[in-house]
Structure 1
Amino acid sequence: MKIAIWTVTRGAVRSALKIKEKNSLADVYSLKKFQSEETLQMDNFTETLNTNFKKYDVHIFIMATGIVVRKIANLLETKDVDPAVLVIDEGMRFVISLLSGHLGGANDFAEVLKGQLGLVPIITTSSDVTGKIAVDTLSQKLNSDLESLEAAKRVTALIVDGKNVELQLPKNICPENPEGVVIVSNREKIETVQIYPRNLVIGLGCRRGILKEQVYEFLIETLKKHNLSYKSIKHFATVDLKADEAGLIELAKELGKDLKIISRDEILKVENMFEGSDFVKKEIGVRAVSEPCAYLSSSKDGKFIEMKAKKDGMTISIYEERFIYEKR
């Protein structure tokens, strides 16, 4: 987690350094005129903030809330991508969760600062102050993706309003992810929202020079074959020889997923677990790529849904990790 602490007064710098003592990797920004060797110096607060806003997961401002609102207003996009924003008074009494309380984690970090420095958290999200969990918070705690922010908002409104909302989890109730749901209710309209667990590890192998579009088309085709959503992809994995393969790098970037690189030395230790190819062994020194890469980069607690799909010089393997709430 990358944290930035913003100050514009000398007193705020002193307070910021107290926070940094508890969060050593945080960057503290201060104006050059204060000449602090422990901070990142800035000539212009607004310009520096504009340049660095998207580079951090959490922003802590030690200044007036009004200043913060005006400075970040034109930097905001949507709640699923905006970073957490907190405001602390210079006297270090209160910490306000100002933005991205749920998905960005501002509410949780306010509680962290309470534990570290005794600050009083100011949290205004209705689900939190009423002791009820919001759908986007549930999604975050399950390390999952939401089907729709709007649907999540509608279902959360029902929760806050005290309506009956059922939580259905893949199998700590049944052994598999459900593909159908029967709802028994006398309500004419029932709000639903799906949460996608990020528990699919995708192993990739390909010929040199493959295009991003080719891999994407094959990926979606393979996922559809198993009725799987790309939203549940945790990360991609490939062999070290493909670390610079532009098509794979661009695909991972476009879908917002990491591309993990697995060395051939690691693969050699497990290659006998998988059906391999003498030709591949002769070419790169290991008998298989997509399957061992998926397995080695996973939690190793799950199963393969697709061992190895092949098409036009590409291979895709899908390893499904056990969902955190699924019974063994």
Structure 2
Amino acid sequence: MEAVGRFDLVVAVMAVGIVVRILCPALREKWTDAPVVAVDSSLRSAVPVVGGHHGGNDLAYHLYEKLGAYPAVTTATDAAGRPSLEGTADRLGASVVNRSSSKEVNLAFLREDVPVLRIVGPKVVLVDEGVAVLRRRGGIVVGLGARRGVDASEVLEAVGSALVSVGRSFEEIRAIATAEIKRDEPGISEAAERLGRPVVYLDEEVLNAQSPTTESRARDLGLVGVAEPAALALSERLIMPKKAYGRVTVALGE
């Protein structure tokens, strides 16, 4: 199938069996093969055939939202409603270095909550096959704190002002990070959706392991802070300490 080598995502409107027979000679490696989703001619089902964890499942869900085609997702972690290594790496804006670890780590995700640890160098770390090593991609991490009930326009305006102050742009954002307690704030999730960037919700243990440069009223909630620790947790350094823009607080890391 020529399209597999030419496009990032492929929708094949034909039976799964036909797709399989066409694809087999073209498949090389699951981390690099283009995700392929088979859709029946009646547009009733969308079946990720190749690359479920690499964009195929997301494409199937997208087809469900746009066309109503049932997303027949079969990858074990997704079917069980559990996280995956690939999804975790994407959420953290990182790439998996030792890809051979994916099978064992994803099996572990099916059974339990696998801890995600951040190790700051210089260090030498010796790991076995059951440990996945992630390396962060480049880009800006936006650490966000917000008052209850903030809307998406306020978030976007605050982030835009922060980026302008350091001479950067929306296109350079890798991820938005905030505290787990902000998960139910629709203004944050909607702003991230408009930007096309993921939101990483960090728990208390991760935030409190950071060393922010400024005091925070979040100490009343048992946190060392929100915006700065969130930015620090997913980046190497702060490029802008936290600053309040109305009801939104922003810190930038890189």
What TM-score do you get using the length of structure 2 for normalisation? Answer: 0.52
1:265 aligns with 2:202: no
Q: In structure 2, what is the Cα distance between the partners aligned to 1:249 and 1:295?
A: 20
When the two chains are superposed, the root-mean-square deviation of aligned CA atoms in Å is 3.8
Q: Give secondary structure in 2 for the equivalent of 1:224.
A: helix
Is this contact kept in 2: 1:20–1:28, CA < 8 A? no
User: 1:109-258 residue pairs with structure 2 within 5 A?
Assistant: 199-258=139-198
> Counterpart of 1:208 in 2: which secondary structure?
coil
Aligned length: 162
The CA deviation at 1:48 is 5.9
The residue correspondences of 1:48-59 to structure 2 (distance < 5 A) are: none
Q: Name the residue aligned to 1:281.
A: 219
Judge conservation of contact 1:16–1:28 (CA < 8 Å) in 2.
no
1:114 paired residue number: none
Summarize the Cα distance change of 1:228–1:18 in structure 2 as closer, same or farther, 3 Å threshold. Answer: same
Q: Which has the larger radius of gyration?
A: 1
Q: How far apart, CA to CA, are the structure 2 residues paired with 1:9 and 1:276?
A: 57
> Using CA pairs below 8 Å that are at least 6 residues apart, which structure has the higher relative contact order?
2
1:29 is aligned, of 26, 38, 47, to: 38
Q: Deviations over 1:117-138 (max 9, x none)?
A: xxxxxxxxxxxxxxxxxxxxxx
C-alpha change, 1:11 and 1:218, in structure 2 (3 Å) is closer
Work out the CA distance in 1 between the residues paired with 2:12 and 2:208: 46
Q: 2:4 maps to what in 1?
A: none
Match in the other structure for 2:232: 295
- Amino acid paired to 1:292: P
**Judging changes above 3 Å, is the alpha-carbon distance between structure 1 residues 214 and 28 closer, same or farther for their aligned structure 2 residues?**
closer
Aligned pair 1:317/2:254, yes or no? Answer: no
Query: How far apart are 1:57 and its partner, in Å?
Result: 5.7
Q: Which runs of 5+ in 2 are unaligned?
A: 1-7, 57-136
- Find the counterpart in structure 2 of residue 98 from structure 1: none
For residues 33-72 of structure 1, the aligned pairs below 5 Å read 42=40, 44=41, 47=43
Q: What amino acid sits opposite 2:186 in the alignment?
A: A
- C-alpha distance in 1 between matches for 2:179 and 2:149: 15
Q: What's the CA shift for 1:274?
A: 3.2
What is the identity, as a one-letter code, of the residue corresponding to 1:255?
L
